[in-house]
């Protein structure tokens, strides 16, 4: 957070939601049109990039050199990443997935969930799914960590900013349930509660990603790597949607433990000082 800059929080989120929703609802419409449905990603990709592009516009128009320097430093300075944090952010999601599968077994879950998935659970038109998972992690975190989260933190504690951000991030995904063959479309047509679980699961995940970023001195690459690990962890094993509901509970517990162990940071009203190396 830059102390000498007045963040335009409402402007940022209104612009991001309007831009993304307009593009993704257009993509949703195209995804059902015979003859052109394979072109829906032409609308989906710019919508995915909206948080990042609007962050760039906000930073550029701020005319604040400290804000610009801070963004570049957090984007390019890999020394911000703390080596002691690497095992934590590399293992949180894989271990959460494995724990969820183990918990599911006595509840009727299949041992086959430990097997690697034969393919991805959704399709993405002419864009390879693995590439889209990487692009999603990259463009989202470039926007969310480039401007959005700090703008919320400028008005509140890390805890409140993390919760508000996570709820907004969850709602940002809403149009995807209308996009033919998207992950969100597929699960909500299996069972509406699976769709509800997806949106609920984003909230503890948002808190965890925010914490990972903060503990790595607000490094944007750290957030991108963790976000990508989250995405790939959801696809690499043959995990059922019922187990993903269990996983949401596991993530809530993980987020609660993190908050409890680092409550001084989460509830402090003073911004942390991060010096550029």
Catalytic one among 140, 186, 235, 247? 140
CA quadruple 171, 173, 178, 181: dihedral sign: negative
Q: Is 140 a catalytic residue?
A: yes
Phi-psi region for residue 184, left (φ > 0), alpha (ψ -120 to 50) or beta? alpha
Phi/psi at 33 (5° precision): -95, 115
| Residue 79: band (very low, low, confident or very high) from pLDDT cuts 50, 70, 90 | very high
Whether residue 74 contacts residue 80, with contact meaning beta carbons closer than 8 Å, is answered with: yes
pLDDT of residue 275: 37
Q: Compute the distance between CA of residue 221 and CA of residue 276 in angstroms, rounded to an integer.
A: 15
Does pLDDT of 274 surpass 70?
no
pLDDT of residue 271: 55
Q: Is 186 a catalytic residue?
A: no
Whether residue 206 contacts residue 165, with contact meaning beta carbons closer than 8 Å, is answered with: yes
Average pLDDT estimate for 185-192: 95
pLDDT of residue 38: 84
DSSP 8-state assignment for residue 147: I
pTM, entire model: 0.92
Per DSSP, what are the bridge partners of residue 237? 116
Helix runs in 105-191, H state only? 129-143, 149-153, 158-172, 183-190
Catalytic one among 118, 173, 189, 270? 173
Per DSSP, what are the bridge partners of residue 116? 237
Average pLDDT estimate for 213-229: 95
DSSP 8-state assignment for residue 178: G
Whether residue 71 contacts residue 62, with contact meaning beta carbons closer than 8 Å, is answered with: no
Tell which residue, 206, 247, 242, 223, has the closest CA to residue 100.
247
Q: What are the angstrom distances between the C-alpha of 8 and each of 13, 41, 154?
A: 9, 30, 10
Does pLDDT of 269 surpass 80?
no
pLDDT digits (tens, 9 = 90+) for 200-211: 999 999 999 999
Q: Compute the distance between CA of residue 20 and CA of residue 25 in angstroms, rounded to an integer.
A: 8
Rg of the Cα trace of the chain? 19
pLDDT digits (tens, 9 = 90+) for 82-113: 999 999 889 999 999 999 999 999 999 999 99
| Residue 130: band (very low, low, confident or very high) from pLDDT cuts 50, 70, 90 | confident
pLDDT of residue 155: 87
Q: Compute the distance between CA of residue 145 and CA of residue 154 in angstroms, rounded to an integer.
A: 13
Does pLDDT of 229 surpass 70?
yes
Q: Compute the distance between CA of residue 186 and CA of residue 120 in angstroms, rounded to an integer.
A: 12
pLDDT digits (tens, 9 = 90+) for 160-181: 999 999 999 999 999 999 999 8
Phi-psi region for residue 125, left (φ > 0), alpha (ψ -120 to 50) or beta? left
pLDDT of residue 3: 72
Whether residue 172 contacts residue 47, with contact meaning beta carbons closer than 8 Å, is answered with: no
Does pLDDT of 272 surpass 60?
no
Q: Which residues contact 107 (CB under 8 A, 6 or more apart)?
A: 246
| Residue-wise DSSP of 45-65 | HHHHHHHHHHHHHHHHHHT-H
| Residue 126: band (very low, low, confident or very high) from pLDDT cuts 50, 70, 90 | confident
């Amino acid at each position: 957070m830059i102390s000498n800059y007045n963040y335009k929080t409402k402007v940022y989120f209104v612009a991001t939601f309007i831009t993304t929703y307009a593009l993704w609802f257009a993509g949703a419409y195209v995804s059902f049109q015979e003859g052109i449905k394979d072109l829906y990603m032409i609308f989906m990709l710019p919508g995915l990039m909206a948080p990042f592009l609007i962050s760039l516009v906000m930073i550029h128009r701020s005319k604040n050199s400290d804000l610009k320097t801070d963004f570049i430093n957090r984007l390019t300075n890999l020394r911000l990443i703390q080596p002691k944090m690497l095992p934590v952010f590399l293992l949180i999601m894989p271990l959460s997935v494995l724990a969820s599968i183990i918990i599911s077994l006595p509840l009727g879950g299949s041992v086959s969930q430990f097997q690697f998935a034969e393919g991805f659970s959704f399709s993405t038109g002419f864009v390879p799914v693995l590439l889209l998972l990487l692009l999603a992690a990259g463009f989202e975190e470039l926007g969310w960590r480039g401007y959005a989260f700090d703008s919320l933190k400028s008005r509140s504690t890390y805890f409140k900013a993390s919760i508000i951000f996570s709820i907004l991030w969850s709602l940002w995904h809403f149009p995807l349930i209308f996009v033919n063959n998207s992950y969100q479309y597929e699960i909500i047509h299996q069972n509406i509660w699976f769709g509800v679980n997806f949106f609920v699961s984003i909230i503890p995940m948002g808190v965890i990603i925010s914490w990972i970023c903060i503990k790595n001195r607000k490094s944007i690459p750290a957030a991108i790597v963790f976000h990508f690990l989250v995405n790939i962890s959801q696809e690499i094993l043959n995990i059922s949607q019922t187990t993903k509901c269990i996983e949401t509970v596991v993530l809530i517990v993980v987020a609660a433990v993190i908050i409890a162990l680092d409550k001084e940071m989460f509830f402090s009203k003073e911004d942390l000082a991060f010096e550029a190396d």
